[in-house]
Structure 1
Amino acid sequence: MKRKVLLIYTGGTIGMEKDYETGSLRAFDFGNIFEKMPEMKLMECEVFVHPFEKPLDSSDMGPEEWKVIAHYIRKNYDEFDGFLILHGTDTMSYTASALSFMLKGLTKPVILTGSQLPIGDLRTDAKENLLTSLYYASLYENDKAVIREVAIYFEYKLLRGNRTLKYSAEYFDAYASPNYPILGQSGVHLNIIKENLYRPDPEIEFHVDDHISEDIIFWRIFPGMNLNHFKEIPEMKVLILQVFGSGTIFSSEKTMETLQQIRNNGTEIVVVSQCISGGISFGKYENSNIFSRIGAISGKDMTAESAITKAMHLIGNPNYPGSFAENFSRNLCGEIS
């Protein structure tokens, strides 16, 4: 039996072609993808295409678009065996992370991919990314999906979506998962490392929780930063601080006073690391103890993208009993070690 995969095209470089009169890139009609890539007709799965009415640059993708994708998957969940989302590369990790929190009890593959060069270029990476993503999106054993989570496939590697970050704007190998091993790798054989795959609670039936709050600010700490600017921050529910190393910040009475004032205003403070690899460890150095004293929340080894979307999903979400701090510290879908 041929598996059915729903391909959702949101926009991005993968769906572009060059206008040879102007030299500019423009979106082509993705409904004609089978003409651009006749190889897709040779796949061992049936592919059905649903393009966004207006293709979006990934910089225009946000909470409303995440909800559209999540609900479209829900609407078609019973009809299809897997889902492939074509997406621009710049914010793909944000979308993958957000969907991992919104799609509860997922038992089918949801794969995101894109490309660094348009599908019509001679040297494009688009075709390999697209074709292999379709294999992963339709991979079943004993009538059960092998992948039951949101993942990104890019340049021969399958990665957990909420563990990824885009680290190169130049190379085809654009994505990394520094704090979690790869889920699979394609070469002569299509390999899956099963012990690395996420397995959802079988008691949870698939559903969408589309709660997203935008009442959040992300701030990167830097040497010599003027903390007086913090007082100009409007009241918000969550402040995510990206700090040095394993959780340090400049030690001064001013730092303590400013952060404590933010906490006293009812703002939760989440701490993530500026390092690509590793994570937060309060107490490792004296200059991290300030966060324990003010009741900040450790982002552990989460990526910034995952921490941001997780916080957006949890703020004021009635479906999570307990405090924000308790829920943020929990491993919801493989986003923290």
Structure 2
Amino acid sequence: MKLLLIHTGGTIGMVETPEGLAPRKGLVEDAIAARLPTGTDLRAEVFDPLLDSADVGPIHWNRMLDTIRSHPDAAVIITHGTDTMAFSGAALSQALAGENRRVILCGSMLPLGHGGDAETNLDLAISAIASQEPGVFLAFAGKLLAADGLVKHHSHDADAFRSQPQATPGAPKRRMFEERKLAILTLSPGIPAEALRAMLDTLDGAVLRIFGAGTAMNDAEILQVLSDAVKSGKALRAVSQCEAGGLSPGAYAAGAGFWGTGVENGGTQTPEAALIHLWLN
């Protein structure tokens, strides 16, 4: 068996230092190698420097994608920090849609050697590469979760992730991440229209987190800002501020004005998945 390990960084490969936890090269690579069956051909792509996942973004997703595609016959494990795991899971799931690859993401809430979850998560990731089912998955807390709709719902517990069901993605228009100015914006009660306009003026597009099943404030100035942004060619996509359930435009009259602006319906997409959708479509 051929196995490609992409080690980006994160808590799983950190050690105690006088300044606090910091990454150490070789820790994850050695832990993986010690767990593999005899005869496994292990190839490792290790980021230098190793990254806290707070610093992971489009250029790193492109590097992961390039590396995966340069090893077409290898199973893939990616070790990654938990804070932006949901973004990377959505990025890889959508960019690799239809390419018949199986990728297992893995991270932990405590580092290797700390009596926590790192070792069991690695064991699960290694066992998961034996399956031929295509897709991107997260091995975490004894579960194999679809990575296209990940939600980090707890900042400390070992069982930190959930996965919200997503619509089956079609092939994206782009397979790599180009430079674009995109953001996730929350429409909160009292948000000033001028602040929203200022943000949208600097962006190529945005994901808008709106209320419940698809309502938003019936504020004429805010609706005009959104309408103007759509007419100017900016891609705006709405998702629910609720973790689960998604949007149902038309269910409430309170959302009529919002949907009349031309904002796209993100349906059941998580904010992270909707952001990646804007990047690739």
Q: Normalising to structure 2: TM-score of the pair?
A: 0.90
Is the 2:61–2:177 Cα contact (8 Å) retained in structure 1?
A: no
Question: Does residue 64 of the first structure (1) align with residue 50 of the second (2)?
Answer: no
Determine what percentage of the aligned residue pairs are the same residue. Answer: 29
Is the 1:57–1:88 Cα contact (8 Å) retained in structure 2?
A: yes
Question: Does residue 259 of the first structure (1) align with residue 226 of the second (2)?
Answer: yes
Hey, what does 2:163 align to over in structure 1? 177
Hey, what does 2:45 align to over in structure 1? 50
Question: Does residue 18 of the first structure (1) align with residue 13 of the second (2)?
Answer: no
Hey, what does 1:326 align to over in structure 2? none
Question: Does residue 294 of the first structure (1) align with residue 255 of the second (2)?
Answer: no
Q: Shift of the alpha carbon at 1:27?
A: 1.6
More displaced, 84-93 or 291-300? 291-300
SS at match of 2:2: strand
SS at match of 1:98: helix
C-alpha separation between the residues in 2 aligned to 1:23 and 1:256? Answer: 48
Q: Are residues 178 and 105 of structure 1, via their aligned partners in 2, closer, same or farther at CA, if it must alter by over 3 Å?
A: closer
Q: Are residues 216 and 109 of structure 1, via their aligned partners in 2, closer, same or farther at CA, if it must alter by over 3 Å?
A: same
- Equivalent AA in structure 1 for residue 253 of structure 2: E
Q: Are residues 98 and 69 of structure 1, via their aligned partners in 2, closer, same or farther at CA, if it must alter by over 3 Å?
A: same
Task: Write out per-residue CA displacement over residues 217-250 of structure 1, whole angstroms, 9 at most, x where no aligned residue.
Answer: 3210111111121222325332221011011111
SS at match of 1:59: helix
Q: Are residues 231 and 48 of structure 1, via their aligned partners in 2, closer, same or farther at CA, if it must alter by over 3 Å?
A: closer
Task: Write out per-residue CA displacement over residues 130-172 of structure 1, whole angstroms, 9 at most, x where no aligned residue.
Answer: 1110111132xxxxx1x20111111111111111111111100
C-alpha separation between the residues in 1 aligned to 2:108 and 2:84? Answer: 13
Is the 2:11–2:110 Cα contact (8 Å) retained in structure 1?
A: yes
Task: Write out per-residue CA displacement over residues 251-272 of structure 1, whole angstroms, 9 at most, x where no aligned residue.
Answer: 1322322222222322232111
Q: Are residues 43 and 158 of structure 1, via their aligned partners in 2, closer, same or farther at CA, if it must alter by over 3 Å?
A: farther
Task: Write out per-residue CA displacement over residues 165-219 of structure 1, whole angstroms, 9 at most, x where no aligned residue.
Answer: 1111110011101336xxxxxxxxxxxxxxx9x7x99xx9xxx921434222321
Q: Give the unaligned 5+ runs of structure 1.
A: 140-144, 181-195, 315-337
Q: Shift of the alpha carbon at 1:292?
A: 2.7
Is the 1:31–1:49 Cα contact (8 Å) retained in structure 2?
A: no
Is the 2:32–2:122 Cα contact (8 Å) retained in structure 1?
A: no
C-alpha separation between the residues in 2 aligned to 1:49 and 1:258? Answer: 48
C-alpha separation between the residues in 1 aligned to 2:135 and 2:188? Answer: 35
Q: Give the unaligned 5+ runs of structure 2.
A: none
C-alpha separation between the residues in 2 aligned to 1:25 and 1:252? Answer: 47
1:1-337 equivalences under 5 Å are 3-19=1-17, 22=18, 24-30=20-26, 33-34=29-30, 36=31, 39-42=34-37, 45-78=40-73, 80=74, 82-121=75-114, 123-139=115-131, 145=132, 147-179=133-165, 209-233=175-199, 234-314=201-281
Q: Are residues 260 and 50 of structure 1, via their aligned partners in 2, closer, same or farther at CA, if it must alter by over 3 Å?
A: closer
SS at match of 2:239: strand
Q: Shift of the alpha carbon at 1:76?
A: 1.2
- Equivalent AA in structure 1 for residue 22 of structure 2: R
C-alpha separation between the residues in 2 aligned to 1:156 and 1:53? Answer: 30
C-alpha separation between the residues in 1 aligned to 2:135 and 2:243? Answer: 23
Q: Are residues 138 and 212 of structure 1, via their aligned partners in 2, closer, same or farther at CA, if it must alter by over 3 Å?
A: farther
C-alpha separation between the residues in 1 aligned to 2:33 and 2:219? Answer: 63
C-alpha separation between the residues in 2 aligned to 1:221 and 1:60? Answer: 25
C-alpha separation between the residues in 2 aligned to 1:39 and 1:289? Answer: 58
C-alpha separation between the residues in 1 aligned to 2:227 and 2:36? Answer: 60
Is the 1:108–1:149 Cα contact (8 Å) retained in structure 2?
A: yes
Q: Shift of the alpha carbon at 1:275?
A: 0.2
C-alpha separation between the residues in 1 aligned to 2:223 and 2:23? Answer: 50
- Equivalent AA in structure 1 for residue 197 of structure 2: K
More displaced, 66-75 or 25-34? 25-34
SS at match of 1:100: helix
Is the 2:13–2:28 Cα contact (8 Å) retained in structure 1?
A: no
Residues matched between the structures, number:
278
Q: Normalising to structure 1: TM-score of the pair?
A: 0.76
C-alpha separation between the residues in 1 aligned to 2:85 and 2:68? Answer: 17
Is the 2:13–2:27 Cα contact (8 Å) retained in structure 1?
A: no
Q: Are residues 37 and 292 of structure 1, via their aligned partners in 2, closer, same or farther at CA, if it must alter by over 3 Å?
A: closer
C-alpha separation between the residues in 2 aligned to 1:238 and 1:12? Answer: 29
Q: Shift of the alpha carbon at 1:31?
A: 6.4
Q: Are residues 47 and 135 of structure 1, via their aligned partners in 2, closer, same or farther at CA, if it must alter by over 3 Å?
A: farther
Is the 1:109–1:148 Cα contact (8 Å) retained in structure 2?
A: yes
